[in-house]
Structures are given as C-alpha cells and as structure tokens.
Structure 1
Amino acid sequence: MPLLNWRDSKHWSDTPAPCVLCDKPTNLRSDRAKPVHKVCAEDWIDSHAAASAEPGNDRG
C-alpha cells in the first residue's frame, strides 16, 4: 500500500467537508483540493492499482 506524504499545509483546510470517498467530515484535502481522508485516498489508490494490474487491462 502506498503511503501519501501530506505534511505540507496545502493538505489542510480550516473548513471540514464530506470526504469524497466515505462522506464523513474531513479537514484534509488531496493534491487537487478535494476533501478526502488520507487513509481513504491510500485505500483508493491501492485498490485501483490492483485492478489495473489484472490481466486484460493493457493500456498499450
């Protein structure tokens, strides 16, 4: 599982908003300024990386 580095203050907002993945409130923001928990983002990346590695998912 990849671990995201969100130490930069750009990943924090003073205003809570619903996480785009679990709908629970969060002050965290993605690199694209979307409200998302770090754990939710890491789980999403992990599950989508596994899906793209399955046979038949060639992009070439």
Structure 2
Amino acid sequence: MLDISSFGFATDTEASEWLIKEIGVAGVAGSSFFREPVHNFIRFHFAKSEGILRAAGEKLQALRAK
C-alpha cells in the first residue's frame, strides 16, 4: 500500500480514479481494506508480467513531473 497523503487528494477513491484517468495505472482505494475510516492509502497489485510492470513504473514516473 502506498500512503497518498502528500498528493493532496480528498480521498483514496478520488486518487484511484485520477491515477486511472490521468496516468493509466490502476490502484485500489485502501479504504476498502479497512474497517476504520482510513482514506490515505492506495493498494497496488504486482501479479502481472514484467512488461506490464515496467510500463506501469514508467507511467508512475510521470507523477514526479506533476
């Protein structure tokens, strides 16, 4: 799970939707894994081929520029 507190999103759901639309990488809102009201984590799943993981990593690198 990745702590997204410093990215400025109101919720993890908002951040997840933005990542899909703007970056092209899907992450699951961490709040779906907690009983408590936690909204600052996104979960990534890495059971993909090496090529897909590399492509996702390159797309996530674009976050540094934003």
TM over 0.5: no
**Alignment TM-score, normalising by the size of structure 1:** 0.30
TM-score by length of 2: 0.28
Higher strand content, 1 or 2 = 1
User: Which is helix-richer, 1 or 2?
Assistant: 2
Which has the higher Rg, Structure 1 or Structure 2?
1
